[in-house]
Amino acid sequence: MSATLHPPRNSAELIAAHGGRITRTRLAVLEILQSSGHSLSHDDLAARLSAAAVPHDRVTLYRTLDWLVEQGLAHRIKGPDRAWRFNFGGENAAPHAHFHCDRCGHVLCLESVRPDEGFALPEGYRPERTELVFHGTCADCGRQVGRNEAGGS
Amino acid sequence: MSATLHPPRNSAELIAAHGGRITRTRLAVLEILQSSGHSLSHDDLAARLSAAAVPHDRVTLYRTLDWLVEQGLAHRIKGPDRAWRFNFGGENAAPHAHFHCDRCGHVLCLESVRPDEGFALPEGYRPERTELVFHGTCADCGRQVGRNEAGGS
DNA sequence: CGCAAAATGCTACACTGTTGCATTAGCATT
DNA sequence: AATGCTAATGCAACAGTGTAGCATTTTGCG
């Protein structure tokens, strides 16, 4: 949001730039999100924190995620199940579609697909936000399937 | 499914035609769904059953809804919250978009809007099903807002 | 350092949905 | 109408996801 010549680069700077205090959980979560290729659920995050031996509390993790989303440092996405997914960024993210892979379960952002196409809604409806989600096989899983089929398993 | 000249009309016939036993809960749920103008959650249904003095059990209601969906007699839709919505039909329903009204909270089917438009996904993605949901103000609520604003509240 | 506010870590709870299992009831058949 | 098989129910218990309240700790600042 600020027009500094040196925007914050690392997690600690990012947090501070948003007026938040730098804490163990915020740092770790931000870094995990930044390094993940796809969105992560609360549960995924908790597992990775444990794996990294970062002590944490369920509730604090929920609150940390809420805060990151509030600050525009993370992006909250619906998953195929009842749990939210989170990924890094969102600050400068334009509306985009998502992809739920039926094979690996990952939820991916399709930045290149805009849901704002001109749909003709019935008279009287006033849409303000459009959610577009594809379900199927993602690029990674598609490659694996192709390989297996080619191999003639 | 069957090509009879006299397709089942009432709830009991519908249930029987699908090889199910005719029970209190199934009858009541089907009738409530048929007479509702918008989709209903498990909780909505439970409330209406209570209002109609139809004794019922939480679990049985869940199972009844599962069965109706399985049989194509009902249609299961995601809501804005974590709860599913259900509406009558689905048997001969083509894929269509949905509308979540931010004002009244209703979830509506937009049968006229098809999500199968030609979106250009990145290389390798194989979509099999597309979910298209609009969030905003529905036609009913839009009318009310218009009236209030015109009245100069 | 010392302080105030922010953030944490508990515990407890709410909501949505599922599982297992003994019991009941629908319905086809006698 | 009675019988019997099995679908369907009702109950209790549990699982996953998320929230509320509140005392305690930590952070960052002056």
D26 C1' to A105 CA distance, Å: 38
Residue B106's nearest CA partner among B91, B131, B122, B87 is: B87
Strand C nucleotides where any atom sits below 7 Å of a protein CB: 6-12, 15-20, 25-27
Per-residue pLDDT, B2: 42
Confidence check: pLDDT of A149 > 50: yes
Q: Does B123 touch chain A (CB under 8 A)?
A: yes
If 0-12 CB within 10 Å is exposed, 13-18 middle and 19+ buried, where does residue B8 land?
Answer: middle
pLDDT by residue (tens digit) across B31-89? Answer: 999 999 999 999 999 999 999 999 999 999 999 999 999 999 999 999 999 999 999 98
Q: Is A138's CB within 8 Å of B125's CB?
A: yes
Q: Of B68, B89, B110, which marks where a domain is finished?
A: B89
Q: Does any CB of chain A come closer than 8 Å to the CB of residue B146?
A: no
SS3 sequence, B64-102?
Answer: HHHHHHHCCCEEEEECCCCCEEEEECCCCCCCCEEEEEC
A46-60, B6-20, B137-151, range with greatest mean pLDDT = A46-60
Residue B26, nucleotide of least CA–C1' distance: D8
- Taking the C-alpha atoms of residue B50 and residue B45, their distance in angstroms, rounded to an integer, is 9
Strand D bases, protein C-beta under 7 A: 7-13, 16-21, 26-28
Please give the Cα distance from B76 to B33 (Å, whole number).
12
Provide the pLDDT confidence category of residue A118 given band limits of 50, 70 and 90: confident
In this prediction, residue A153 carries a pLDDT of 43
Work out how many domains chain B is built from and give that number: 2
Same-domain status, A78 and A30: yes
For residue B91, pLDDT beyond 90: no
Residue at which a domain ends, from A89, A119, A143: A89
Among A9-23, A113-127, B4-18, B38-52, which is the least confidently predicted range?
Answer: B4-18
Which pLDDT value is given to residue A145? Answer: 72
CB neighbourhood size of B9 (10 A): 8
Claim to verify: residue A125 and residue A106 sit in the same structural domain: yes
Cβ contact (<8 Å) for A131 and B127?
no
Q: pLDDT category, A150, cuts 50, 70, 90?
A: low
- Mean pLDDT in residue range A40-44: 98
- Please identify, among A69, A89, A109, the residue that sits at the C-terminal boundary of a domain: A89
Q: Residue A75 — pLDDT band, cuts 50, 70, 90?
A: very high
Of A108, A100, A114, A133, nearest to B131 by C-alpha is A133
Contact between chains at A125 and B136 (C-beta distance less than 8 A): yes
pLDDT given for residue A144 in this prediction: 82
Residue A115 near residue A140, CB atoms below 8 Å? no
Find out whether B108 and B139 touch, Cβ atoms under 8 Å. no
For residue A59, say whether its CB is under 7 Å from any atom of strand D: yes
* One domain for residues B26 and B84: yes
Residue A4 has pLDDT above 50, yes or no: no
Q: Read off the pLDDT of residues A47-61 as tens digits, 9 standing for 90 and up.
A: 999 999 999 999 999
Judged against a pLDDT cut of 50, whether residue A152 lies above it is answered with no
Specify whether B79 is located in the same domain as B104.
Answer: no
User: Of B134, B139, B135, which is closest to residue A124 (Cα–Cα)?
Assistant: B139
Give the CATH number for residue A145.
3.30.1490.190
**Distance from C-alpha of B46 to C-alpha of B62, rounded to nearest angstrom:** 10
Q: Measure B42 CA to D15 C1' (Å).
A: 19
Sheet with A107-110, strands from edge to edge, namely A107-110, A97-101, A126-137, B126-137, B97-101, B107-110
Do A99 and A64 fall into the same domain? no
pLDDT tier at B153 (50, 70, 90 boundaries)? very low
- Check residue A93 and give its pLDDT: 76
Torsion of CA A78, A83, A89, A92, to 10 degrees: 30
For range B1-26, the mean pLDDT: 80
What is the arithmetic mean of pLDDT over B124-133?
Answer: 95
**pLDDT for residue B93:** 76
**Size of chain B, expressed as the number of residues it contains:** 153
If asked whether residues B77 and B18 sit together in one domain, one would say yes
Q: What is the pLDDT of residue A91?
A: 66
In this structure, the number of other CB atoms found within 10 A of the CB of residue B92 comes to 6
Same domain for B142 and B71: no
Compute the average pLDDT of residues B101-124. Answer: 92
Query: In the structure, what pLDDT confidence band is assigned to residue A3 with cuts at 50, 70 and 90?
Result: very low
Domain that holds residue B17: 1-89
pTM above 0.85, yes or no: yes
